[in-house]
A and B are shown apart, each in its own frame.
Chain A
Amino acid sequence: MEYEAIIGLEVHVQLLTRSKMFCGCDANYQDAPPNTHVCPVCLGLPGALPVINRRAVEYTIMTGLALNCQIAQVTKWDRKNYHYPDLPKDYQISQYDLPLTANGYLTIDVDGRPKRIGIRRVHLEEDTGRLYHVDGRALVDYNRSGVPLIEIVSEPDIRSPEEARLYLQKLRTIVRYLGVSSGDMEAGALRVDANVSVRPVGQETFGTQVEVKNMNSFRSVKLALEYEIERQIGVLKAGGTVVRETRGWVESEGRTVSQRSKEEAHDYRYFPEPDLPPLEIAPAWVEALRKALPELPDEKAVRYRREYGLSSYDAGLIVADRHVAEWYEQAVALGAQARPAVPPKTLANWLTGEIFRLMHERDQDIESLNLSPAALVELLGLVADGTINNNVAKSVLRDVIESGTPPAQIVEERGLRQISDEAQLAHIVARVLDQHPDEVQAYLNGREQVAKWLMGQVMRATRGKANPKVVMSLLTQQLEARRSSQE
């Protein structure tokens, strides 16, 4: 029997607001000494009261809009009650039945076809502190306590670990475009829980759902989902039943282990937070935020295809990172002004080819790579006007990145100017042909591909600087001339 997986994801995203969700403490606690970004409110001291961070509400609305959600006209906060040492009030201020935004979707590209993943809700809550276990003792750092957190809950529309990865990547791209979160999973700014079930293909009803936690990277999400799906199918194939429970991914062992059964599930005793009055969201506020939204990756990709003639593959590669897209658009603007112009498609080819390769090789992103859009346009201008050829340009590019020197200067200093002078090149071609009589003979005997090898010899003799078009035409001329003289 064939089985299919049903996956829904709950993603927590930390917002990049300056202050925390309900107090004025600095929300950027990374690298801060423990318990230095705290006050009576985020420590849950007796008598302290929360006040809503307006910016966090705006970031949530922006995320909701980017995910095609409806924005609530009235929203409220609720208390989620449970005891845990990292939770200073012993309840978390969250949103229960009136989330800020709900009922949207996100589109992923599955094998070249768009697929919509439903978004059930996006709500706003506060983060908890962090527990550390040191020498058999538990220590608590409340710096993270009260940092604004949005929870993005998908519909169970995801059918494979690969789709889950695409969904998460898209989600991360969107929050980064919006500038509402770093989306950095390793730093805990984006956390993923998954609800997984399997069912025989063709069956309408869902199988028993298992919640999987503790996945700390995109890779571990993929591995954990693959493991869990196989595990559940295995249970069913063996004639067993899947138990409704929470399981944790143990990275070192490459498996999920049971943490809590449904009988032990929390009763969170949600009730409306009496310290915060319900919040009315004025339509004008939402419209102002909608207008201020940046162009999102899907829209950008469509525009790149339409305006720049890029393939959807290349467009997708460029828009996946907001900074890359911004870099590219600067290059396109400069390329249009250059004489001769450098077309967007050429720039895209260089970006997704040579530059991505260098980024990967050097483990750098577009920002840390020492290359301005202007430098690339200048470099490709030198190709376009015949000063250098493509191969030399690749070498110059590497030099620009390593030295920071402008491309034209490198070309001059290294004497890389392309040789297009026919008389000079004709002399070199003749010399190369004289030095390789066997190959010339082979060509004349009909092995025309030898011309390419001879071309390589000419390029070598000119240290790559020869204008390949001129060389090819001279080679053909002189080889044909030698054929005539033989006959």
Chain B
Amino acid sequence: MDDLCRLTLHEAKVLLERGECSAVELTEACLARIEQVEGRVRAFLTVTPDEALEQARAADEARARGSSAPLLGLPVAVKDVISTRDVRTTCGSRMLEHYVPPYDATAVVRLREAGAVLLGKTNTDEFAMGSSTENSAFFATRNPWDVERVPGGSSGGSAAAVAADECLAALGTDTGGSVRQPASLCGVVGLKPTYGRISRYGLIAYASSLDQIGTLTKDVADAALLLELLAGRDPRDATSADVEVPTYTAALTGDVRGVRLGVIREWLEHPGLDPGVAAAVQGALETLTALGAEVRDVTLPHSEYALPVYYLIAPAEASSNLARYDGVAYGFRASGAGDIWELFARTRGAGFGAEVKRRIMLGTYALSAGYYDQYYKKAQKVRTLIKADFDRAFEAVDVVVGPTSPVPAFRLGERVDDPLQMYLADIFTISVNLAGLPGISVPCGFADGLPVGLQLIGRPWDEATLLRVAHAYEQATPWHARKPDLS
């Protein structure tokens, strides 16, 4: 029964439905696994064993009464930037160390309604700002494949927890690659849907026009299962789209014949691309060709500006989104302030970490009178050009393909003192957020024993094609079945 935690959602679902295991057993297996590996992985900021077991018991009772809710009794984890009622939600920040939301994010509501068991909250770079989870104010999460290396970020806690079998699946958030990049580094599947596909209500904002909730799962079928539940218009989020949600699990036909894949030349020839990563991606393209997909080249000429554009828009929005953490109504409040202005300054000075402060200052500058046109406004214009590149590419192909991360997992501490080097970790994922497109990272091999991810990018709202291609590839390769050795 110790192996129960190694199951995917859909595998565990079958066992539960057949009565071959209970939700309590599944949850106990995950809690035992957390107990066993958490000292090395450190994926969770908060584990809620009592609440989880209570939910599991309730799920077993509900099943006995005939309920067949889609995630009934399945243990999952939630990134700690997504609000959970009565469970503290820290954003990996001292600022919210003791903040307990009085409400659930819409995505969490949907998980609960589907019967899922919530195990706890996973580690993140502070306010999702980072690519290694080292910017957490509490501790760094380790990569289960090599605990001296980072899991990626900012959803590093969720990716590591899934890779280490501490949960069956997890929610993450992706603003510039924060689901796909850690998925790539941890050898799991990371899906970032189209902007507006999943409600952001309750997702604590970093950069509102880029943030999107995504999933970290052990295979593509689980990603489809979760998206089916989470997607759809939410009246509480004006940016959530009223677009039909297909049955994603039914899209996983295994057939990719005739699908046109566009390889991004600029990315495969990028000087920063690790040769091992390049080889793995090249191998994946050959596999997909063998499966009947047509592979051709596409070009995204403006994608080289994605990084600077992102680092103007995201910090600008962040500077405004994070202004509310001022010590007045909730969260950390510095002591000893003489007046309200000193209270603001001291609270923010002591409550935020270095990277958050850096981005707040960058964003404040970019929005300042006299600089708005040349920075923020210009960045928005280039963003439009980046999106137009993708639109052009999608005239010729159905899915755009490339590496997720230029490198496999790097060593802890290797990039913390060099923000620009850290920012380069997201060089291939950021343009997807800027264009609002869906993207998925699937395991496509190893480089020096570390997982490599293949990134597939789809048309707006066409997650179905993305999942179909990713699933067909996954089923034809052994990568997703490999597990890190944490014994």
Contact = CB atoms under 8 A, between A and B. Distances in A.
Contacts of A90: 320, 323-324, 326
Contacts of A138: 340
Interface centre among B96, B105, B208 (most CB of A within 10 A): B208
Interface in B389-420: none
Interface in B185-234: 200-205, 207-209
Contacts of A45: 83, 101-103, 330
Contact of B103 (A40, A88, A91): A40
Contact of A79 (B102, B320, B330): B320
B346 to A, nearest CB: 13
A274 B433 CA distance: 14
A48 B320 CA distance: 14
A270 B367 CA distance: 7
Contacts of B201: 47-49
B326 A83 contact: yes
Interface in B301-325: 316-317, 319-320, 323-324
Given A46-B89, A46-B101, A47-B201, A275 B323 contact: no
Interface stretch (B61-69, B236-244, B285-293): B236-244
B449 interface: no
B324 A47 contact: no
Interface string A30-64: 00000000001001111111111000000000000
A46 B320 contact: no
B139 interface: no
A198 B105 CA distance: 55
B326 A81 contact: no
B328 interface: yes
Contacts of B364: 269
A9 B7 CA distance: 67
A40 B100 CA distance: 12
Contacts of B479: none
Interface string B316-359: 11011001101011100000000011001000000000000000
Given A46-B91, A269-B367, A271-B372, A91 B320 contact: yes
Interface in B13-33: none
A138 B338 CA distance: 13
Contact of B200 (A49, A88, A269, A270): A49
Contacts of B204: 46-47
Interface SS of A by simple majority = loop
B154 to A, nearest CB: 16
B171 to A, nearest CB: 13
A277 B344 CA distance: 31
A79 B322 CA distance: 13
Contacts of B48: none
Nearest to A90: B323
Given A40-B103, A85-B340, A90-B324, A275 B238 contact: yes
Interface in A261-302: 267, 269-271, 274-277
Interface residues of A, number: 30
Interface string A67-78: 000000000000
A89 interface: yes
B326 A274 contact: no
Contacts of B372: 269-271
A276 B368 CA distance: 22
Nearest to A22: B238
A79 B323 CA distance: 12
Contacts of A267: 368-369
B258 interface: no
A274 B326 CA distance: 21
B236 A88 contact: no
Interface in B223-279: 235-239
Contacts of B138: none
Interface centre among A43, A45, A52, A85 (most CB of B within 10 A): A45
Contacts of B367: 81, 269-271
A81 B320 contact: yes
B238 A89 contact: no
Contact of B99 (A46, A50, A81): A46
B200 to A, nearest CB: 6
A79 B99 CA distance: 25
Contacts of A185: none
Interface in A219-277: 267, 269-271, 274-277
Contact of A85 (B83, B105, B203, B328): B328
Interface in B73-124: 82-83, 89, 91, 96, 99, 101-103, 105
B99 A140 contact: no
B101 A49 contact: no
B428 interface: no
Nearest to A86: B328
Contacts of A50: 238
A479 B102 CA distance: 93
B376 interface: yes
B45 to A, nearest CB: 15
A274 B329 contact: no
B324 A46 contact: yes
B209 A274 contact: yes
B213 to A, nearest CB: 11
Contact of A47 (B83, B328, B330, B376): B83
Interface centre among A47, A79, A267 (most CB of B within 10 A): A47
Contacts of A270: 367, 372
Contact of B238 (A43, A49, A79, A88): A49
B239 A277 contact: yes
26 contacts: A40-B101, A43-B329, A45-B101, A46-B99, A47-B105, A47-B202, A47-B204, A49-B201, A49-B236, A49-B238, A79-B320, A81-B319, A81-B320, A85-B326, A89-B324, A90-B320, A90-B324, A91-B320, A140-B328, A140-B329, A269-B369, A271-B367, A274-B209, A274-B239, A274-B317, A277-B238
Given A47-B89, A89-B324, 9 more contacts: A47-B82, A50-B238, A51-B235, A81-B323, A89-B323, A90-B323, A269-B367, A269-B369, A270-B372
Interface of A: 40, 43-52, 79, 81, 83, 85, 88-91, 138, 140, 142, 267, 269-271, 274-277
